[in-house]
Chains A and B, each alone.
Chain A
Amino acid sequence: MQHLHRSHIYGVMGEFGDPAELIHAVEKIRAAGYRRVNAYSPFPVEGLSEALGLKRDMVSTICLLGGLAGGVGGFFFQYWVATTAYPLNIGGRPLNSWPAFIPVTFELTILGASLAAVFGMLALNKLPQPHHPVFNVPRFTHASADRFFVCIEAKDPKFHLAECARILQEVHAHHITEVSDD
C-alpha cells in the first residue's frame, strides 16, 4: 500500500511561521536521518544552508572561469586584431601595444564573470522551470510572502508517509500536507 503511494507523491510538507522554527525543524528532521529534505522561504534565512548541510556551491568557480575566459579571450582577441587581422603602422609604433588593450580586457573580464555567475546560478538551480510539485500545495503561495516550508521528499530511502507526518508534528509544523507528484 505504502509502495503504491510512493510512486505518485513528491513528499510531505509542513509549514512554519518564523525562521527560527524552520531551522529547528530542519535540524530535527536531519538528525532523524532524512537526507532528501528541502526548505522553502520568502527570503534567504541565515543558518538554513548549514542546517540542511549544503556544500559549497559551484557558482564562484563558474564565475572565475567566466572571468578568465573573458579576460584572456578579450586580450588575445585584441592582440590578434592589432597584429594579424588588421595591422596599422602608425609611425612605426609596436603593433602589440598591450597597455592600450587593458581597458577592454578589464571590461570583458567583468562581463564574462558576471554572465557566468548569473547564468551559472540559473543553470545550477535548473531555472527556468515552469512547474514543480510543491506548487500543488495550495498554501505554498505563502512561501513567497510570509511562511516557511519544509518538505521531506519521497525519494528519501527512509521515506514513510505516516512517519514523516509524525516527525513534522513533533516539530510543531502547521498544515502538514501530502505533496502530489504531477
Chain B
Amino acid sequence: MSAGQPPLDSPEIRRLTPVIGPGYTYGSVTDKISAIVLTRPTSIGWYIGFLIAFSVMGMMTVAIGWLIIKGTGIWGINIPIGWGFAIVNFVWWIGIGHAGTLISAILFLLNQKWRTSINRFAEAMTLFAVACAGMFPLIHTGRPWMAFYMFPYPSTMGIWPQFRSPLIWDVFAVSTYGTVSLMFWFVGLIPDLATLRDRSVKKPMKIIYGMLSMGWRGSARHWHRYQSAYLLLAGLATPLVLSVHSVISFDFSVAIVPGWHTTVFPPYFVAGAIYSGFAMVLTIAIPLRKAYGLEDFITMRHLDNMAKVMLATGLIVAYGYFIEFFMASYSGNKFDVFLVQQRLHGPYAPFYYALILCNILIPQLLWSFKMRHNVAVLFIMSIVVNIGMWLERFVIVVISLTRDFVPSAWGRYSPTVWDWATFIGTMGMFVTLIFLFVRVLPAISIAEMRELVAETSEDEK
C-alpha cells in the first residue's frame, strides 16, 4: 500500500464501497425487497427464463424415467468405472452448496456485515444444490425405490447398514446437512414471511404467508430466543459444513485406489467446495442484482469480497494439487507415481490441463483490483471456476478408476447422451428452483437488512 492511501478499514474506503446504498430506511428496504415478491408484475424475462429452465428440467425427468425403465446400463459406466458421472456430479453439486452455509454460518459468527444481503439466496442455493446432489447417489443405486435400505430401520430381514462404510457416513452427512440447511433457511425466513403476510393484499397470499410465518409477531421475548437459536444453528452448521465434504472425501480416501488414498483429501475437498460454491453465488448474484435492480443491496463490495474468497480458496486448492504430486513422488510408491504420470500424459491429460487452467491459472486475474470490480469478468470467471471444479472431480474419479494396480483392470470411460441429459437436466432443475424462489420468497433477508440500516445509521451518528 502506498503512503498516501488511507488504511483499508477507514471510513473513507467504507463509504466508497458500502454494504448498503445510502439513504435507506426501515420502510424503504422493506418496500423494495417485498415488492419483488408482492407487487412487481412478473416480467416476460422471468417467464422466458423459467420456461427454458423448466424444459431442461423436463429433459432430466425423461432421462431418469428411461433410467428407471432400463437400468444404469444406459449410462457410460461399466467395470472398472462403476462411478462415472453420477459421483462426479454428486460431489460437484454438494460442493456448490457449501458456500451458502459458509456465508450464512461462518460469516455470521465472524460478524461480517456484508453477508446480510447475500445469505438468503446463498442458503437457497445450498438447498437446491443439495437436492440436485442427493439425486445422483439415489439414481446411481439402480433401484432408487430401494434407497431406504441405506437408513437403519428394523427390517424383517434382520439386516442393518454397515456403519464402518464411508458410503453410509455419506448418507448421514448429506441428510444431516440437508436438514440443518433447511432449518437454518426457514428460521431466517420466519420474520420475513410475517412481513409478507402483513403486506400482501390478496387473500390467498395472506393465508399462505400467514401459515408459513406461524403467527410471528416480532415480540421481544420471541426475538430473544430466536437470536439464541440462530446463533446456535450458526455454531452447529460451521463444523457441519466442514465435516460434510470431509466425509465425502472419505468415500475416496478410505479406499486404497491410487490417487484417492491421500490424507490431503479432506481439507482440499472442503476448500474446493467453498471455491466452487462462491463461484456459483457469483453466477447467481450478478444476474439477480441486475434483473431486480438490487445494486444498492448487493454492492461491488460484496462481489469484491466474494472474489477474494474465491482467490484464497483457489490457492488452497492449488496447494492440494501440488501436494498430491509431491506426496506421490516422495512416497516412491510406484502406483502413485504412475497415476500422477497418467494425469499428465494419459488419455485424460487434456482434462487435467484444462482443470489447471480453469482452477489455478485464470483465477489469478483476481489479484487485480480492476478485474475484481469488473462485473462481466467476475461472471465469466465464476463460470470458468465451476467448469474447473467439475473437471477436478472428473479427473479424480475417472483417472484413478481407469488406471489402478494391474493393466488387466484398466479401462476407458466416456459418458453417453443419457449421462449428459441427466447432468444438464439437474442444472435445469437448479435454475427452475432459483426462479421460483426469487418469485415467491424474499431473496434478501428483510429483517437483517433493517438491522443493517439501524447499525449503519448508528455508525453515522
Contact = CB atoms under 8 A, between A and B. Distances in A.
A127 B215 contact: yes
B194 A81 contact: no
A100 B218 contact: no
Nearest to B180: A114
A106 B223 CA distance: 29
B240 interface: yes
A131 B215 contact: yes
B450 interface: yes
Question: Considering the complex of A and B, which 3 residue pairs feature the smallest CB-CB distances, nearest first?
Answer: A128-B214, A121-B229, A146-B26
Interface in B231-259: 232-233, 236-237, 239-240, 243, 247, 250
A127 B216 contact: yes
Contacts of A104: 163, 168-169, 172
B12 interface: no
Contacts of B163: 78, 81-82, 100-101, 104
Contacts of B247: 103, 107
A115 B223 CA distance: 18
A100 B250 CA distance: 11
A38 B220 CA distance: 7
A54 B198 contact: no
Interface in A67-86: 67, 77-78, 81-82, 85-86
Nearest to B246: A103
Interface of A: 19, 38-45, 48-49, 52, 54, 57-60, 63, 67, 77-78, 81-82, 85-86, 88, 97, 100-101, 103-104, 106-108, 110-111, 113-115, 117-118, 120-122, 124-125, 127-132, 134-135, 140-146
A1 to B, nearest CB: 30
A59 B232 contact: yes
B195 A42 contact: yes
A19 B217 contact: no
B156 to A, nearest CB: 13
Q: Is the interface of A mostly helix, strand, loop or mixed?
A: helix
B220 A42 contact: no
Given A124-B225, A144-B191, A146-B30, A110 B240 contact: yes
Contacts of B173: 103, 107
A146 B191 CA distance: 13
A113 B163 CA distance: 21
B221 A44 contact: no
A125 B30 CA distance: 24
Given A118-B183, A144-B198, A144-B218, 19 more contacts: A42-B26, A43-B223, A44-B447, A48-B220, A57-B224, A63-B232, A63-B236, A78-B163, A101-B164, A104-B169, A107-B169, A108-B172, A110-B180, A114-B183, A115-B183, A118-B229, A124-B225, A132-B217, A144-B194
A81 B152 contact: yes
B333 interface: no
A72 to B, nearest CB: 15
B187 interface: yes
Given A54-B224, A128-B215, A103 B25 contact: no
A93 B30 CA distance: 62
Nearest to A128: B214
Q: Is the interface of B mostly helix, strand, loop or mixed?
A: helix
A101 to B, nearest CB: 6
Contact of A129 (B187, B214, B225): B214
Nearest to A55: B224
26 contacts: A39-B219, A42-B30, A42-B191, A42-B218, A43-B191, A49-B223, A54-B224, A58-B225, A59-B228, A63-B232, A77-B152, A88-B162, A97-B164, A101-B164, A103-B247, A106-B239, A110-B176, A110-B243, A115-B183, A118-B183, A125-B221, A129-B215, A131-B215, A135-B217, A140-B217, A145-B26
A8 B11 CA distance: 54
A49 B223 CA distance: 9
B27 interface: yes
Contacts of B215: 127-132
B229 A120 contact: yes
Interface string B140-170: 0000000000001000001111111010110
B22 to A, nearest CB: 18
Contacts of A82: 163-164
B222 interface: yes
A24 B398 CA distance: 66
A60 B222 CA distance: 14
Interface in B167-194: 168-169, 172-173, 176, 179-180, 183-184, 187, 191, 194
Nearest to A134: B217
Nearest to B186: A118
Contacts of B221: 38, 52, 54, 125
Contact of A117 (B25, B168, B220, B236): B236
B195 A117 contact: no
B302 interface: no
Contacts of B161: 81
B179 A114 contact: yes
